[in-house]
Amino acid sequence: MSTTGSEKAALDPQRAPEEDRIPVVRLLAFTTAGFLAIMTETMPAGLLPQIGHGLGISEGLAGQLVTLYAIGSVVAAVPVIAATRGMNRRPLLLFAVGGLLVFNTVTALSSSYGLTLLARFVAGMASGVIWGLLAGYGRRLVPEHLQGRALAIVGVGQPIALTLGVPLGTWLGSLFDWRGVFWIMSAVALLLMIWIRTLVPDFPGQTAEDRQPIRKIFVAPGIRPVLAVLFLWILAHNILYTYVAPFLAHAGLGSRVDVALLVFGASSIAGIWLTGLLVDRLLRTVTLASLAGFALAALLLGIAGHLLPLVFAGIVAWGLTFGGAPTLLQTAIGDAAGDGADVAQSMFVTVFNLAVAGGGMVGGLLLESAGAGSIPWVLLGFAVLAFAVVAAARRHGFKPGPRMVRS
């Protein structure tokens, strides 16, 4: 028989504070890990001239440091997480963060383009492991009825890093050379390892008897609808996010890209906060409302033309409704996977990165063939498709009502 946290508290008042307590300091270690993983990925984009000069290569070749990192994440997530399911969680997380420490340091020291690419690829693999661990590990730190809220805290580092990664890299590059920026990220990784080792409790991995085959997890009810929504939503988002500069130039706001990204980032953080308040009670409703709002954002951007208030209204709606998407979808896939949550989360990471890469490709094709003005309308189509998948996945994946809590 299931017992909610509030029912347990009523039976045993002395347990009430513990049942409803969010271990913020512990969860913020995971927030920082996600922030560091994304910053490590995106920061070189703001340092391309310096990196190119330092390694004696073109800016185009320097940009492949971002590409190789993303490929490493895609390649590593599922097989490494599946192969390490028996390991205790904290040593594995420390090993992955240590990978960022080591290979950011190698990047800072390297004078060889080939070695630098290899270091970025392996750092990307470490990032894939981190992302495969964070959601499942974070969920285990709290009672089941608070798991969605915990994921909202873990996820807040993502929009901050996505918003600040490139401009922060450019700013730090103006204070130090590009190698100094990678030394800073190595130092952050070292401090994070101390934080995790000191304050985050360990949990055992799965026994051999409890480990489900990867295929069984993939075909479990609810997994594929969540992954389909993930792909459509992240693909749509990244088409616009990757090409936000040419889109804003099309709207007559080419000189205000920094302001637009700041508005998007602030709106995303607000969206995460709102999602965290509601996800454990209204997962399906909030997912549908967020996708509807995302579609509205695309519509506003599509009809805005050169109307500044309408463009920024669309950007605010985009951030508010997309900010909580990782929290919603990680919660949904974790619930659907049950004991296979870590492997399901690694599938989440793989599909997420494929959607990011797809967003760059599709957006580039749109830009060349139909122009920047076509981007919002394609977003609208993907948002409607994702909404339809959620609407159809009523029995599995996106169930109505509060999340079920096991005793």
Residue where a domain terminates, one of 163, 187, 211: 211
Distance CA 350, CA 331 (A): 16
Contact 367, 193 (CB under 8 A): no
Tell me: do 190 and 222 sit in the same domain: no
Tell me: do 159 and 222 sit in the same domain: no
Residue 253: exposure state from Cβ atoms within 10 A (0-12, 13-18, ≥19): buried
Question: Cβ–Cβ contacts within 10 Å for residue 398, how many?
Answer: 26
pLDDT value of residue 210: 65
Half-sphere exposure at residue 108, Cβ-oriented, CA atoms within 13 angstroms = 19
Tell me: do 72 and 182 sit in the same domain: yes
User: Considering only CA atoms, which of 228, 203, 213 is closest in space to residue 333?
Assistant: 228
Domain count, the chain: 2
Distance CA 173, CA 188 (A): 17
Residue type, 374: S
pTM for this entry: 0.77
Can you give the residue range of the structural domain that contains 339? 212-407
Tell me: do 267 and 171 sit in the same domain: no
Tell me: do 323 and 188 sit in the same domain: no
CA distances from 70 to 67, 308, 388 (A): 5, 34, 29
Residue where a domain terminates, one of 189, 211, 233: 211
Contact 43, 168 (CB under 8 A): yes
Tell me: do 165 and 222 sit in the same domain: no
Question: Cβ–Cβ contacts within 10 Å for residue 43, how many?
Answer: 27
Structure tokens at 313: 């209204």
Residue where a domain terminates, one of 149, 179, 211: 211
Contact 390, 291 (CB under 8 A): yes
Contact 226, 332 (CB under 8 A): yes
DSSP state of 396: T
Distance CA 87, CA 82 (A): 10
Question: Cβ–Cβ contacts within 10 Å for residue 278, how many?
Answer: 17
Residue 221: exposure state from Cβ atoms within 10 A (0-12, 13-18, ≥19): exposed
DSSP state of 387: H
Tell me: do 292 and 407 sit in the same domain: yes
Tell me: do 241 and 134 sit in the same domain: no
Tell me: do 230 and 344 sit in the same domain: yes
Tell me: do 114 and 218 sit in the same domain: no
Structure tokens at 230: 């993930």
Q: Could you give the residue ranges of the DSSP H alpha helices within 141-256?
A: 147-155, 157-175, 178-199, 214-218, 223-242, 244-250
Task: Say which residue the tokens 């296979």 belong to.
Answer: 340
Biggest alpha carbon–alpha carbon distance for the chain: 69
Residue type, 283: L
Give the total residue count for the chain.
407
Domain harbouring 330, CATH code:
1.20.1250.20
Over residues 28-66, the pLDDT tens digits come to 999 999 999 988 987 887 787 888 889 998 877 887 888
Distance CA 339, CA 210 (A): 8
- Give the chain's residues under pLDDT 50: 1-17, 405-407
Contact 158, 38 (CB under 8 A): yes
Task: Say which residue the tokens 């949904």 belong to.
Answer: 332
Tell me: do 180 and 323 sit in the same domain: no
Over residues 194-251, the pLDDT tens digits come to 999 999 999 887 776 666 777 788 788 889 999 999 999 999 998 888 788 888 888 8
Residues with Cβ within 8 Å of residue 44, at least 6 apart in sequence = 51, 62, 63, 65, 66, 169, 178
pLDDT value of residue 285: 94
Tell me: do 239 and 382 sit in the same domain: yes
pLDDT value of residue 18: 53
